[in-house]
Amino acid sequence: MKIGEVIQSADWKKEKHAPVIEAPAVVKAGEPFVVELSIGKEIAHPNTTAHHIAWMELYFKPADDKFIYQLGRFDFSAHGASAKGADSGPAWTSPSARCVVTVQGPGTLVATSYCNIHGLWEGSQDVQIA
C-alpha cells in the first residue's frame, strides 16, 4: 500500500474534513505572502474529545521539481478533555493556522489534515509567479 491510497480529497464546500488553503493565486518570486489554513470553512467540523482535527501540514511542490517541501506543521492539542470528563475541559484549539511563505517559482501548495475518526485529507492550490 502507498500513503496516497489512503489520503482523501474533496471539495471543501461540500466536505468538512478537507483542508482549505487561502493564499494569493499570483505572487512575486522571493517576496513573502500569507497562507491561511482551515478546516470546515463551509461546513463546521466537530471539535470534541471524541471527534476532532489533530493536525494540519503545509507543503510546496515547485512546478519544476520532483520533490515536495514541508513548510509547516500545526498541532491542535486541546479538544475539551479533562479529568472531569470528555468535553468538560477548560480549553479547545480550532483547526486553523497562518504562516508566511516565500517561493522562488510557480508550484502548488498542498495541505493535509488528520481527523482522529476519518483519517487523512488533502487540499491544494496552485501559485503562479507575476
Residues recognised as catalytic:
15-17, 45, 51, 115, 118
Dihedral angle over CA of 98, 55, 69, 16, nearest 10: -80
Residue 95, CA distances (Å) to 7, 21, 29, 54 in order:
18, 12, 29, 8
Q: What does residue 19 show for φ and ψ, rounded to 5 degrees?
A: -65, 140
| 3-state DSSP assignment of residue 26 | strand
Q: How many CB atoms lie within 10 A of CB 100?
A: 10
| 8 A C-beta contact, residue 14 and residue 76 | no
| 8 A C-beta contact, residue 103 and residue 28 | no
